[in-house]
Chain A
Amino acid sequence: MNLAEKILAAHCEKKAVTPGEFINVQTDLILSNDITAPIAIKEFRKIGVKKVFDPKKIVMVADHFVPNKDITSAEQVKLMRDFAYEQGIMYYDVGQMGIEHCLLPEKGLVLPGDVIIGADSHTCTYGAVGAFATGMGSTDIAAAMATGDIWMKVPPIIKFIYHGKLGKWVGGKDLILYTIGQIGVDGALYAAMEFTGEAIDNLPMDGRFTMANMAIEAGGKAGIFHVDQNTLDYVKLRAKRPYKVYEPDANAEYAQVIEYDISKMEPQVSLPHLPSNAKPVSKLGKIEIDQSVIGSCTNGRISDLRIAAEILKGKKVHPKVRCIVIPGTQQIYLDAMHEGLIEIFINAGAVVSTPTCGPCLGGYMGILAGGEKAISTTNRNFVGRMGSTKSEVYLANPAVAAASAITGRISSPEEIK
């Protein structure tokens, strides 16, 4: 069995599972947020149990529209907050919250060998620590909050092997944009993606979170990494409960094995309106931008902010560009402050927001007008994703987003001297 199958088998009390099989898995953590929790709570009330199965395994995070942008979003969070206190579950509100997929790993709530489900499609992010994590809907989460388990179909696993060493400005974002560009937005539909190879062994945890995060953008059910010393160093400082490291069998079977040599890879940019429209940054021609967003659950971590600051240091954001920097969590915000990054951003003419999803989903804090273009470190560039249906979003890594903020057009970090 491969890694994902090992974890799933252990969570449904079976010796082995095979792709295509329907199983009932026990969950280690169940997540929802200010968009998906309200529906989940309404559905939970219909099941006929008063209490959730285990308050210590359920977490809710207010992150999409907080501090609340309007009355209706305030009502949604209130509904979630009331439920969270009533049930005694883990709950993160303004002041403690961060973007859920940055926050939960940081808090040590997602650990190797876990099965994690979340009413948010980017729940797949936690595959970076060697967990099986997958996004579902609110109704799934309602049922799981009642019983602790959920139905699942064991996915086929596609193994990706990345050969070579990453270039200076190339990171997890570029690997995943390139991969989605190669296989398409439904290239891994119903499948789980396992990321391996020399480039992955050398990829820091933040880059792994970025890659696992975007497995869903290829249609994937999960993205998963093997646990190595990097992972253990990351989780051992944070874990407050025991966890188990599973190893794939040497003869594990995969639905497909795809190999890439990435030694000559440039930073990638995905053109509107699909993450699969990936191109090397040098092949884009002149594309002027109105906004640069550096943040989100994909690239709102401290190493992302360090890269952006390295480029913006002593430079000015182009007068026609709004550069918006959003640290993923309070801790990341604090670290960025201690390291002097916030000052670099402000001196460059960028704004720094408290943690929120904000513009990533066109919520608030940087909505685009018709005809405007943004370069963004987020994960989706669908029509209207960041505002007007006539606006455009280009996806890139934080180095490209920072460089473009300075030049006013989509630029390689190499251009900034």
Chain B
Amino acid sequence: MLKGKVHQYGANVDTDAIIPARYLNISEAELLTKHCMEDIDLDFVKRVKPGDIIVADTNFGCGSSREHAPLAIKTSGISCVIAKSFARIFFRNAINIGLPLLESEAAVDGISNGNMVEVDLEKGIIKNLTTGKQFTAKPYPEFMSQLVKTGGLIEYTRQRVASNKSNRFYERRS
């Protein structure tokens, strides 16, 4: 069960807002996190507490493919992101590295900045503790929930390679 205070943002929060490109000459999560959300919310890093939740409108994480973005969010202590929709690459990256994402229009409309929210990831249930309202998120497709359960893409691939005893899965195509 995840529980935390809500940091709310609008639509189209892009990866340059989540982690500006000027810091991409580093790749260590702890260093990156210091600049998380800096260009749209200078105090985010000071305010955020472990377990807190980001709630945003549509197309969260649009823009570049930088995995630095979900990594910075995860390392900042954010336990999950709830949005009306996510940009495709951000979605992959987050699932791959184990930052839970939940899609729910009703939840985003029914939650305000600063509310306390509780999330049951397994059931996809989002509860606004401040207002008492409850919402359900879209469930992950089966393959993705398997990926999440295994512990992300790297662990999934590690097990796959180990059971195959090699990384030759196909005859070469050309």
Binding site for B on A (CB under 8 A): 11, 22, 26, 28, 35-36, 38-39, 42-43, 46-49, 51, 53-54, 64-65, 69-70, 72-73, 76, 118-121, 123, 135-140, 142-143, 146-149, 151, 153, 185-186, 189-190, 216, 219, 221, 241-242, 274, 361-363, 380, 382-385, 389
10 tightest A-B contacts by CB? A137-B93, A73-B25, A361-B21, A186-B59, A137-B67, A139-B96, A72-B25, A121-B65, A143-B157, A22-B143
- Is residue B111 within 8 Å, beta carbon to beta carbon, of the partner chain? no
Give min CB distance, B112 to chain A, whole Å: 23
Q: When chains A and B are docked, how far (Å) is the Cα of A186 from the Cα of B85?
A: 9
Tell me, rounded to whole Å, the shortest Cβ–Cβ distance linking A386 to chain B.
9
User: Does B47 sit within 8 A of A, measured CB to CB?
Assistant: no
Q: CB distance B12 to A186 under 8 Å?
A: yes
State which of B12, B24, B167 has its C-beta within 8 Å of the C-beta of A35: B24
Interface status of B26 (Cβ within 8 A of chain A): yes
Write the chain A residue with the least CB distance to B157.
A143
- Option from B92, B153, B168 in Cβ contact (under 8 Å) with A53: B168
**CB-based nearest B residue for A139:** B96
Write out the residue numbers on chain A whose beta carbons fall within 8 Å of the beta carbon of B152.
139
Q: Is the CB of A47 within 8 A of B89?
A: no
Please give me the residue from chain B that is nearest to A71 by CB atom.
B25
- CB-CB under 8 A for A147 and B14, given A46-B154, A53-B167, A189-B59: no
Residues of A within 8 A of B96 (CB): 137, 139-140
The answer to the question of B141 belonging to the interface, with a C-beta cut-off of 8 Å to chain A, is: yes
B169 touches A149 (CB 8 A): yes
In the assembled complex, 6 residue pairs joining A and B whose CB atoms fall closer than 8 Å, in A order, are A47-B161, A76-B26, A186-B58, A242-B174, A361-B16, A389-B39
Specify the main secondary structure of chain A where it touches its partner: loop
CB B36 to nearest CB in A, in angstroms, measures 14
In this assembly, does B160 line the interface, its C-beta being within 8 Å of a C-beta of chain A? yes
Known contacts A22-B143, A137-B89: does B24 contact A64 (CB below 8 Å)? yes
Report if B5 contacts A (CB, 8 A): no
- Report B-chain residues with C-beta under 8 Å of the C-beta of A137: 65-67, 70, 89, 92-93, 96-97
Which of A26, A28, A136, A389 is B65 in contact with, Cβ under 8 Å? A136
Measured CA separation A48–B70 after assembly (Å): 24
Verify A76–B27 contact, CB threshold 8 A. yes
What residue in chain A is nearest B59 (Cβ atoms)? A186
B25 x A49 contact (CB < 8 A): no
* A46-B154, A380-B63 as given contacts; A151 in contact with B143, CB under 8 Å: yes
Known: A28-B173, A53-B168, A186-B62. A47 touches B154 (CB 8 A): yes
